[in-house]
C-alpha cells in the first residue's frame, strides 16, 4: 500500500522522538493485520452478513478484523482497554483503543471499495493517535499528537498532509454521508441552505470525507449521528493536519455523537449556519 501519486519519504527520524511513537507503530501494525483480513474477504462469495439490532449490517470480516486487532493489543499493550464496534465497549482505564474494524460496512458488503479500518488511541481524555487504513483505495492516513498528519503506507513511506486554505463558504467544497438524521435533528433545511451557498457538494461519505478534509481536497464534512468508534481515529488526523473537529454544537473532539470537520477557517461560519 502506498500513496503512489505523491513523492513519499521516510519520517522515522522526526517521529521517533515523539513520546507516542511506539504507540503509532503498534497502531500501524494493527492496521497491517486488519488489512490482510479485510482485503482477503472483500468480494468473497461466502461472506456472511447479518443485521444487528440497530438494522445495520455486520459481516464475518468485521468481527475477524476486530478480533485480530484485539489480539495484537493484548500482545503489545496488555492492560489497555478497548472500545470496539463489534466486540465490546470498555470504559477507559487511562489508555483505551477505539476501533471500527470496517467503517463503511454497507459499502464493503456491496462491493464498493470505500471502507477502512479505524484505530484510535485515547490517553486520559484525549485521542492522541489515529490510523485509517483503506486497502481497497490503496491508501492509509495516520497522525500522532504533536507529530503531524500523514498519508502513505507508514512512517517510512508517507507524505505529510495539511488542510486547505479556503476561507469563504461560497468557495468551499463540502461532503456529506447522507441526509438521513438531519431531519431528526431539526436542521436539515439549514443544511440544505448552507450547501446551496457553497461551491460544491459531494457525498464521499464515512471516513473518506474526513480524510479528504485532512489532505486539503475537501473543505468540510459533517454527519449528524456517529459513535465514538466512527470518529476516534479521525480526530487526531484532522487536527494534526491543521483542521478543526467538533460536534455540531462546537464541542471539540469525538464525544458528542455527531461530527463536523473543517479546515478551521470555515468552522464557525458553518456551525452558525447549522444552528
Please report the pLDDT score of residue 275 as a whole number. Answer: 85
Please report the pLDDT score of residue 43 as a whole number. Answer: 87
Measured CA to CA in angstroms, residue 70 lies from 19, 29, 131, 255 at distances of: 23, 12, 15, 22
Report the relative pairing of strands 81-84 and 95-103 from DSSP bridges: parallel
Evaluate if residue 4 carries a pLDDT over 50: no
Q: What is the DSSP letter of 219?
A: S
Binding residues: 85, 100, 102-103, 230
Pick the CATH number of 169-274 from 1.10.565.10, 3.40.190.80, 3.40.50.300, 3.80.10.10: 3.40.190.80
Evaluate if residue 237 carries a pLDDT over 90: yes
The rounded distance, in Å, linking the Cα atoms of 199 and 173 is 6
Confidence of residue 5 (pLDDT cuts 50, 70, 90): low
pLDDT tens-digit series, residues 35-84: 999 999 898 888 888 887 876 888 899 999 999 999 999 999 999 999 99
Q: What is the DSSP letter of 236?
A: H
Please report the pLDDT score of residue 44 as a whole number. Answer: 85
Domain ranges of the chain: 12-160, 169-274
Which of 53-57, 115-119, 244-248, 263-267 bottoms out in mean pLDDT, i.e. has the lowest?
A: 53-57
Measured CA to CA in angstroms, residue 105 lies from 20, 77, 166, 229, 259 at distances of: 30, 27, 32, 13, 19
Please report the pLDDT score of residue 254 as a whole number. Answer: 97
Question: Which is it for the CA torsion 159, 21, 91, 84, positive or negative?
Answer: positive
The rounded distance, in Å, linking the Cα atoms of 113 and 187 is 31
pLDDT tens-digit series, residues 169-220: 999 999 999 888 898 889 999 999 999 999 999 999 899 999 999 999 999 9
The rounded distance, in Å, linking the Cα atoms of 195 and 85 is 31
**Letter string b/e over residues 213-245, b meaning 16 or more CB atoms within 10 A of that residue's CB:** bbbbbbbbbbbbebebbbbbbbbbbbbbbbbbb
Please, what is the Cα angle at 241 between 237 and 247, to 5 degrees?
Answer: 60
CA nearest neighbour of 31 among 73, 60, 87? 73
Rounded mean pLDDT, 152-166:
97
CA nearest neighbour of 175 among 218, 225, 237? 218
Please report the pLDDT score of residue 180 as a whole number. Answer: 85
CA nearest neighbour of 97 among 65, 74, 63? 74
Tell me which CATH code domain 12-160 carries.
Answer: 3.30.540.10
The rounded distance, in Å, linking the Cα atoms of 59 and 94 is 31
Please report the pLDDT score of residue 153 as a whole number. Answer: 95
Evaluate if residue 227 carries a pLDDT over 60: yes
pLDDT tens-digit series, residues 87-130: 999 999 899 999 999 999 999 999 999 999 999 999 999 999 99
The rounded distance, in Å, linking the Cα atoms of 57 and 177 is 17
Binding residues for Mg(2+): 85, 100, 102-103, 230
Confidence of residue 236 (pLDDT cuts 50, 70, 90): very high
Domains 12-160 and 169-274 share a fold: no
Amino acid at each position: 500500500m502506498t500513496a503512489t501519486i505523491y513523492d513519499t519519504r521516510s519520517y522515522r527520524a522526526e517521529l521517533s522522538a515523539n513520546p507516542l511513537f511506539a504507540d503509532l507503530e503498534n497502531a500501524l501494525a494493527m492496521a497491517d493485520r486488519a488489512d490482510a483480513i479485510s482485503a482477503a474477504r472483500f468480494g468473497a462469495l461466502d461472506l456472511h452478513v447479518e443485521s444487528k439490532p440497530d438494522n445495520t449490517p455486520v459481516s464475518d470480516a468485521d468481527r475477524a478484523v476486530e478480533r485480530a486487532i484485539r489480539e495484537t493489543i493484548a500482545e503489545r499493550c496488555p492492560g489497555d482497554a478497548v472500545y470496539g464496534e463489534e466486540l465490546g465497549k470498555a470504559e477507559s482505564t487511562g489508555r483505551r483503543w477505539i476501533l471500527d474494524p470496517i467503517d463503511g460496512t454497507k459499502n464493503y458488503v456491496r462491493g464498493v471499495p470505500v471502507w477502512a479500518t479505524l484505530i484510535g488511541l485515547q490517553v486520559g481524555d484525549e485521542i492522541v493517535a489515529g490510523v485509517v487504513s483503506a486497502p481497497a483505495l490503496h491508501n492509509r492516513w495516520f497522525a500522532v499528537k504533536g507529530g503531524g498528519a500523514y498519508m502513505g503506507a507508514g512512517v517510512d513511506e508517507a507524505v505529510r498532509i495539511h488542510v486547505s486554505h479556503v476561507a469563504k463558504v461560497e468557495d468551499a467544497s463540502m461532503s456529506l454521508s447522507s441526509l438521513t438524521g438531519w431531519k431528526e435533528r431539526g436542521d436539515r433545511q439549514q443544511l440544505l441552505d448552507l450547501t446551496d451557498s457553497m461551491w460544491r457538494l459531494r457525498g464521499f461519505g464515512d471516513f473518506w470525507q474526513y480524510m479528504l478534509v485532512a489532505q486539503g481536497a475537501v473543505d468540510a464534512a459533517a454527519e449528524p449521528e456517529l459513535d465514538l468508534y466512527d470518529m476516534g481515529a479521525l480526530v487526531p488526523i484532522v487536527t494534526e493536519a491543521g483542521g478543526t473537529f467538533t460536534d455540531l454544537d462546537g464541542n471539540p473532539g469525538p464525544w458528542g455523537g455527531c461530527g463536523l470537520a473543517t479546515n478551521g477557517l470555515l468552522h464557525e461560519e458553518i456551525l452558525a449556519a447549522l444552528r
